[in-house]
Structure 1
Amino acid sequence: MIRTLIADDEPMIRAGVRAVLASDPDISVVAEAADGRQAVDLVQRHRPEVAVLDIRMPGLGGIEAAAEIRRTVPATGVVMLTTFGEDDYILRALSGGAAGFLIKSGEPEELIAGIRAVADGAAYLSPQVAARVVAHLAAGGAGAAAGRRAAARERTDALTAREREVLAFLGSGLSNGQIARRLHLAEGTVKAHVSSVLGRLGVDNRAAAAVVAHEAGIALPPAAAQ
């Protein structure tokens, strides 16, 4: 059972998320919060596998709450809920420890898939969010975008061939177990490769590594990753 917390200052949003999750027998909602501070307190009390946080909440916002959850309850994966037009928040949340990013107006199945992926230790960027992040990174102008792509390629060139393979699958949101099956490796070996990739890239989490993979042009499209 994937024990989940929902945090959003709008009761109707919380009710909608709760209703979607209720359709999956393997997911249970153990607590709800109306702001970031309450979310952190409830995560520390209930220790859920996944916390679903709105990015913008009164008092302690979702980004700050995600960072505190990562610091105090690292076993809880954080999924951020966002709306279009909040690209800056998404980029800030990458460094705050969030592992998943979903659009509030997305399909219900995507919410369930994101929670399952994060509970399994994977990063999950919905296709819309991934596209928005990459587009936002390119918005600084062709020169700046080219510079970021070149910097990403330089960082990934320092990886071994196997680490690049792992990063390509990681960039598509696959878990360690899924990567292990595709590369015919032990899951523990993949975990070691992922840790090495994060260290070599200088990032703190899988979602940030996924963005580097997209910028470097080595992330596999979803169909190819299956």
Structure 2
Amino acid sequence: METIRVIIIDEQPLFREGIRATLQRMGNCEIIGESTDATEVLDIIRTNTADVALIDAGLTSSDPLEIARQTRHLAPRTAIIMLTPSEDEERLFQSIKVGAAAYYTRNITSEELVDAVRKVSQGEYLINDDVLSKPQLASRVLRSFHELTVEKEEGTPKDSYSPLSSREVEILDYIARGNSNKEIAKSLKISDQTVKNHITSILKKLSVSDRTAAVVHALRHGWIKINNEA
């Protein structure tokens, strides 16, 4: 069983102690650092290979979103879990924009935390559970990534390599436009089952758990676009 290396960024000592104790009981989790100071956190990120960063979204001593953003820049493979004081759709949206893999309120149970750390360390994108339960937020997320893609078209090269086939990219493009499996099948003149098979293949290749995660992943890498259509 591979060791999961975790950094904890939380300014409440008692809560931090609870997180540490919970993760240490996993048996394969190593806490490589704890801090609330942005400079110190980023130094730890630079000098260690963290699998997961747990960030208190309610930090007052530093900007938690900026810490998350810098972490993603310095260590793209480090999965970020944001722990928020309360349900906040704007904070959720901003967490998605900075690349968080999961977003939970601070009343998360020990079992949920352990499960989340294990899953995000393996590349799962749990934040989509929140997105899928809020259609308006999902639409806002897609628009935001579209705008980001447009901004980057001038001067910033995209990752041209895609593990997906041309048909899979085409299907992802339809998904990004809000089409159901049945609508995709009708447009491409293939069966519903064939569409399902392609989607299963897409999720496996991208190591994501659902359609929204696949679309966000593809938008980030510039493999698909969302055109402004009436």
Q: TM-score, normalised by structure 1?
A: 0.62
CA distance in 2, matches of 1:95, 1:28: 28
In structure 2, which of residues 47, 50, 53 is the aligned counterpart of residue 51 of structure 1? Answer: 53
Q: Cα distance 1:196–1:83, how it changes in 2: closer, same or farther (>3 A)?
A: closer
Aligned twin of 1:155 = 177
Q: Name the residue aligned to 1:73.
A: 75
Q: How does 1:102-181 map to 2 (within 5 A)?
A: 102-125=104-127, 129=130, 134=134, 137=137, 155-157=177-179, 161-162=195-196, 165-166=199-200, 180=204
Contact residue 43 and residue 51 of structure 1 kept, 8 A:
no
**Max Rg structure:** 2
**1:185-196 to 2 correspondences below 5 Å:** 189-191=205-207
Cα drift, residue 52 of structure 1: 0.6
Unaligned runs of 5+ in 2: 139-173, 185-194, 222-230
Letter in 2 for 1:26: N
> Alpha carbons of 1:78 and 1:154: their partners in 2 closer, same or farther (altered >3 Å)?
closer
- Runs of 4+ in structure 1 displaced over 4 angstroms? 190-196
2:32 to 13, 30, 33: 30
Deviation sequence 1:104-142 (CA, Å, 0-9, x none) = 112111111111111101112396x558x628749xxxx
CA-based RMSD: 3.7
Find the residue that maps to 1:106 and give its secondary structure: coil
Q: Cα 1:155–1:47, aligned 2, differ >3 Å: closer, same or farther?
A: same
The structure carrying a bigger helix percent of its residues is: 1
CA distance in 2, matches of 1:92, 1:164: 31
Alignment CA distance shift 1:154-1:19 (3 Å): closer
Cα offset, 1:26, TM superposition: 1.4
Q: Between the two proteins, what is the percent identity of the paired residues? A: 22
User: Contact (CA 8 Å) 2:176, 2:215: kept in 1 or not?
Assistant: no
Q: Is the 1:4–1:28 Cα contact (8 Å) retained in structure 2?
A: yes
Residue 76 of structure 1: CA displacement? 1.0
Contact 2:54 2:83 in 1 (8 A): yes
The one-letter amino acid of 1:70's match is R
Moved more, 55-64 or 114-123: 55-64
Q: Give the residue type in structure 2 aligned to 1:20.
A: T
The question of whether the paired residues in 2 share the 8 Å contact of 1:87 and 1:136 is answered with no
Is this contact kept in 1: 2:36–2:62, CA < 8 A? no
CA distance in 1, matches of 2:176, 2:69: 28
Residue of 83, 86, 93 corresponding to 2:85: 83
In structure 2, the residue matched to 1:172 is: none
Cα distance in 1 for partners of 2:176, 2:30 equals: 43
Structure 1 gap segments, 5+ residues each: 139-151, 168-175, 181-188, 205-226
1:190 Cα deviation (Å)? 4.6
User: 1:75 and 1:190, CA in 2 relative to 1: closer, same or farther beyond 3 A?
Assistant: closer
Correspondent of 1:15 among 14, 17, 34: 17
Counterpart amino acid of 1:165? I
| Cα distance in 1 for residues equivalent to 2:175 and 2:215 | 14
Deviation at 1:61, TM superposition (A): 1.6
Whole-angstrom distance in 2 between the partners of 1:199 and 1:12: 36
